[in-house]
A and B are shown apart, each in its own frame.
Chain A
């Protein structure tokens, strides 16, 4: 079967800075892949390109068989809104800072896109939204506004909002980094439930190594715009091959373990 995401020699520059240089990367249907790597290595850029929030300069990219180049060959930079619309139908994204719409209730945040974009009937969209909100444990917050919710609750609404569009590929860009430590668990719990969905392809950027190990089918260590090492999580974490990977893992695990322990002590 064809991979659902395929980067082929993709090059992405910000001015003089080359973030991705001939980047090659594939994700299979239903696969749950975690990207880890140091700050500034280009992890967010990969997700943002997939979400059509960033153009790229060179190479080929497909999601679910749809090329980011328009068939008439005008290039990824100049794809029409119509073509971008088609690409985005398959892809959803959850942001680090939630980005809920502050002027809409929780329910409207989830209902709005299915109604306006998918032309779903409002009642149908509302009953699906209610179902999704129950899934993320927020049925009772339907009529609240985002400003009345904790960060963890906002992020769970954002996940429901993304799911309401039934994406084939769901991108998570550090979904728990903006949260207080005691709220991380509830969001990871929701993502963990999602990971058991067979059809959904997930691409996740996170610094939660334990979580990555638990939910992913594959972990990719990303540095300076390339994948330095990747593999099945057990092997990846217990026996990293590349010195850069070991260095990164020891630095990040060295930071994380004591933090986690101090939290469990505090409880």
Chain B
């Protein structure tokens, strides 16, 4: 077998990796906003719930979370297929870290902006969505970019619940051919290319948001 023959199965794996990564980043970002905003709620119960979720997923290893959802949850009668389990777990993890990003960026909006909003009698909800969020969201982009890359790398672990992602395919190719050097080099290159695309996407969104004179160098006035 020459290295070109490794490409077909590895590309198939890469597709699965990209799919899982994009899906869990998308759900993760939604969760991040929900939990990050809930964390700042004046309702103790809501913010407490968000706190527990964030602490739980930030404080435990992804691998154990995956196994728990895959092997332990079915014991109480709830089971999902591997792909769903993988996406769900990764989304929850990304959402937990992302929630801290959202919260941090919202807290970084200068208090003077919130006071101006109060002086104009805006409701709290309006202030959050129309005053704080548009300013905070730009500050979220670099850390969200990091989270996206982290998420991509974490997807490698889903191979352990028998999902045929890039890492899984690499393992099986190596077991057949014993050509570790070529297989793992190609795999690294594969992950790197996907990571590069993710970085570019996030940069692109950030540039779009930062375009125009509203946020010169992201400085708050």
B16 located at the interface, meaning its Cβ lies under 8 Å from any Cβ of chain A in the complex = no
Q: List, sorted by A's number, 20 A–B pairs whose CB atoms are closer than 8 Å.
A: A51-B115, A53-B115, A53-B119, A93-B119, A97-B112, A98-B221, A99-B221, A100-B116, A101-B131, A102-B135, A103-B215, A104-B214, A112-B130, A116-B126, A116-B130, A117-B122, A117-B123, A145-B214, A146-B221, A162-B120
Inter-chain contacts of B134 with A (CB < 8 A): 103
A241 located at the interface, meaning its Cβ lies under 8 Å from any Cβ of chain B in the complex = no
Inter-chain contacts of B44 with A (CB < 8 A): none
B185 located at the interface, meaning its Cβ lies under 8 Å from any Cβ of chain A in the complex = no
B208 located at the interface, meaning its Cβ lies under 8 Å from any Cβ of chain A in the complex = no
Minimum Cβ distance to chain A for residue B209 (Å): 10
B120 touches A102 (CB 8 A): no
* CB-CB nearest in chain B for A104: B214
B203 located at the interface, meaning its Cβ lies under 8 Å from any Cβ of chain A in the complex = no
Alpha-carbon gap, A51 to B117, bound state (A): 11
Alpha-carbon gap, A101 to B126, bound state (A): 13
B118 touches A95 (CB 8 A): no
A145 touches B112 (CB 8 A): no
CB < 8 Å neighbour of B119 from A88, A104, A146: A88
B120 touches A148 (CB 8 A): no
Alpha-carbon gap, A92 to B124, bound state (A): 17
Chain A contact patch, size range: 20 to 34
Inter-chain contacts of A117 with B (CB < 8 A): 120-123, 126
Alpha-carbon gap, A162 to B80, bound state (A): 56
A89 located at the interface, meaning its Cβ lies under 8 Å from any Cβ of chain B in the complex = yes
Alpha-carbon gap, A48 to B103, bound state (A): 26
Among A91, A95, A97, A103, chain B packs the most CB atoms within 10 A around the CB of: A103
A156 located at the interface, meaning its Cβ lies under 8 Å from any Cβ of chain B in the complex = no
B214 touches A113 (CB 8 A): no
Chain B window 98-138, contacts with chain A (Cβ cutoff 8 Å), 1 for yes, 0 for no: 00000000000000110110111111101000110011000
A95 touches B112 (CB 8 A): yes
A88 touches B118 (CB 8 A): yes
Inter-chain contacts of A144 with B (CB < 8 A): 213
* CB-CB nearest in chain B for A108: B130
* CB-CB nearest in chain A for B212: A145
